[in-house]
Amino acid sequence: MKFFLDTADITEIRQLAALGLVDGVTTNPSLIAKTGRKMSEVITEICAAVDGPVSAEVTATEHGAMLAEGRTLRKLAHNVVVKLPLTAEGLRACRDLSEEGILVNLTLCFSPAQALLAAKAGAAYVSPFVGRLDDVSHDGIGLIADILEIYDNYDFSTEVLVASVRHPMHVIQAAKLGADVATMPPSVLRALINHPLTDKGLAGFLADWAKTGQTIL
Ligand code: E4P
C-alpha 31 to ligand 1 mean position (Å): 9
171 within a domain of the structure (yes/no) = yes
114 within a domain of the structure (yes/no) = yes
Which amino acid makes up residue 212?
A: T
Which ranges in the chain belong to alpha helices (H)? 10-17, 29-35, 39-49, 63-74, 88-99, 112-120, 130-135, 140-154, 168-177, 186-193, 196-212
| C-beta of 167 in contact with ligand 1 (< 6 A) | no
Which listed residue (34, 38, 75, 83) is catalytic?
83
pLDDT in tens, 15-38: 999 999 999 999 999 999 999 999
Nearest ligand 1 atom to alpha carbon 131 = 10
| C-beta of 131 in contact with ligand 1 (< 6 A) | yes
pLDDT in tens, 191-212: 999 999 999 999 999 999 999 9
| C-beta of 13 in contact with ligand 1 (< 6 A) | no
**Is 8 in a helix, a strand, or coil?**
coil
> CA 174, CA 64: separation in Å to the nearest integer?
35
- Counting the structural domains of the chain, the total is 1
Nearest ligand 1 atom to alpha carbon 27 = 4
194 within a domain of the structure (yes/no) = yes
217 within a domain of the structure (yes/no) = no
**Is 141 in a helix, a strand, or coil?**
helix
72 within a domain of the structure (yes/no) = yes
Q: What is the pLDDT of residue 143?
A: 98
24 within a domain of the structure (yes/no) = yes
169 within a domain of the structure (yes/no) = yes
* CATH value at residue 82: 3.20.20.70
Is 83 marked active-site? yes
pLDDT in tens, 139-192: 999 999 999 999 999 999 999 999 999 999 999 999 999 999 999 999 999 999
Q: Which domain holds residue 137?
A: 2-212
Q: What is the pLDDT of residue 71?
A: 98
Question: Which residue's CA lies nearest to atom 8 of ligand 1?
Answer: 164
pLDDT in tens, 62-109: 999 999 999 999 999 999 999 999 999 999 999 999 999 999 999 999
| C-beta of 4 in contact with ligand 1 (< 6 A) | no
| C-beta of 183 in contact with ligand 1 (< 6 A) | yes
pTM higher than the cut 0.85: yes
